[in-house]
Amino acid sequence: MAAPISGTQAPGYYRIKVGDYEVTVVSDGGLTLDHTLFVGDEAGAEKLLRDAHLPKMGIPTPLNTWLINTGKQLILVDAGGGTHFAPSVGRLPQNLAAAGISPSAIDAVVITHPHPDHIPGVITGDGNMLFANATLHVQEDDHGFWTSSEIRGKAPEEFRGFFDLAVNAIKPYAAAGKLSLYKDGTEFAPGVRAVACHGHTVGHSMVRVSPSGGDFLIFGDIVHCAALQFPDPERGVAFDTDPAMALANRKKVFDMVATDRLLFSGGHLPFPGLGRATKSGKGYVFVPVIQGEM
Ligand SMILES: [Zn+2]
């Protein structure tokens, strides 16, 4: 039977139960990155990418955010790129709507790190709070770094826009008295807490979700390309503020999730960005969650 070619996709959200809580991975869309942004020998990168059926240039790079429903509070972790990289990014509002969530229902937004693909989505195109009733939680060292005009002035020209995007996103929340600075161990809700994992930025943090009966780790941006960095964790990314610390923490977190067989998600893992890791050779194998598993 003839049928029209629809050209549309299912909305980008995916739900899992984590003990008493529900976590919804909500897609903000995706970006592309080139292999030249990653540390390591080119021949090795080419082989890893070819084996993963990925191009060397313009590697598809998803952008995930997470909505944690504790039953009493709605906490969003990261908010995507907003209008900055539209239209490939900035799909959080439409995917939240598809998931039945109004931005005004969200109580808190926790930012793993205030990079241009994680924080600009907290504001509307005209610079107002998208999440009108939410407290914005930014790690204290990251806040100090990304709002410093002195550090901005010393940064390479191509990174100065990063500072402006962070400042603009934070501004309306600070003006409304809705900005809160967090540190290692800060608890955003019972069983939802920050875990320091610095290096990608000076305050980059993970969020551990461990309510009664569940345990889940949102590890933020320790991985920007699963196909390159699980098999070879030494392959860092150009955006790391402190590459040595970022590498040490990537190895530490990979070891922990593999040893503890812990379910995790990351900002740039293939949507829905949920899986586990198994040690293999000098690196790890990423094992995605199978739809219907939970
Ligand atoms: Zn990112």
Q: If you measure from the C-alpha of residue 99 to the centroid of ligand 1, how many angstroms do you get, rounded to a whole number?
A: 23
Q: If you measure from the C-alpha of residue 118 to the centroid of ligand 1, how many angstroms do you get, rounded to a whole number?
A: 6
Q: If you measure from the C-alpha of residue 159 to the centroid of ligand 1, how many angstroms do you get, rounded to a whole number?
A: 14
Assign residue 239 the CATH number of its domain.
3.60.15.10
Take residue 142 and report the two structure tokens written for it. 């990251």
Is 71 buried (19+), middle (13-18) or exposed (0-12) by CB count in 10 A?
exposed
Q: If you measure from the C-alpha of residue 223 to the centroid of ligand 1, how many angstroms do you get, rounded to a whole number?
A: 9
Domain presence at residue 1: no
Q: How far apart are CA 220 and CA 241, in angstroms?
A: 15
Domain presence at residue 8: no
Q: If you measure from the C-alpha of residue 3 to the centroid of ligand 1, how many angstroms do you get, rounded to a whole number?
A: 39
- Collapsing DSSP to helix, strand or coil, 189 comes out as strand
Mark the residues whose beta carbon lies below 5 A from ion ligand 1: 117, 221, 267
**Tens digit of pLDDT for each residue in 274-284?**
999 999 999 99
- Structural domain span for residue 57: 13-288
Q: If you measure from the C-alpha of residue 83 to the centroid of ligand 1, how many angstroms do you get, rounded to a whole number?
A: 15
Residue 246: pLDDT band with limits 50, 70, 90: very high
**Tens digit of pLDDT for each residue in 136-173?**
999 999 999 999 999 999 999 989 999 999 999 999 99
Domain presence at residue 293: no
Residue labelled with tokens 């943090």 = 205
Take residue 7 and report the two structure tokens written for it. 């050209």
Domain presence at residue 5: no
Q: If you measure from the C-alpha of residue 79 to the centroid of ligand 1, how many angstroms do you get, rounded to a whole number?
A: 11
pLDDT at 105 over 90: yes
- Collapsing DSSP to helix, strand or coil, 226 comes out as helix
| Maximum alpha-carbon separation in the chain | 65
Is-cis flag, bond preceding 120, omega within 30? no
**pLDDT (mean) for 39-53:** 96
Q: What letter represents residue 193's amino acid? A: R
Q: If you measure from the C-alpha of residue 117 to the centroid of ligand 1, how many angstroms do you get, rounded to a whole number?
A: 5
Domain presence at residue 6: no
pLDDT at 197 over 80: yes
Q: If you measure from the C-alpha of residue 16 to the centroid of ligand 1, how many angstroms do you get, rounded to a whole number?
A: 22
For the chain, the domain total comes to 1
Q: If you measure from the C-alpha of residue 76 to the centroid of ligand 1, how many angstroms do you get, rounded to a whole number?
A: 16
Query: DSSP character for 289?
Result: P
How high does pLDDT run on average in the chain? Answer: 96
Q: What b/e string do you get for 149-179 counting C-beta neighbours within 10 Å, with b at 16 or more? A: eeebeeeeeeeeebbebbbbbbbbbeeeebb
Q: If you measure from the C-alpha of residue 268 to the centroid of ligand 1, how many angstroms do you get, rounded to a whole number?
A: 7
In order, the DSSP letters of 5-44 are -------SEEEEEETTEEEEEEEEEEEEE-GGGB-S-HHH
Domain presence at residue 2: no
Q: How far apart are CA 120 and CA 163, in angstroms?
A: 11
Q: If you measure from the C-alpha of residue 266 to the centroid of ligand 1, how many angstroms do you get, rounded to a whole number?
A: 9
Please tell me the predicted confidence (pLDDT) of residue 294.
62
Q: If you measure from the C-alpha of residue 235 to the centroid of ligand 1, how many angstroms do you get, rounded to a whole number?
A: 16
Domain presence at residue 84: yes
Domain presence at residue 7: no
Q: If you measure from the C-alpha of residue 218 to the centroid of ligand 1, how many angstroms do you get, rounded to a whole number?
A: 13
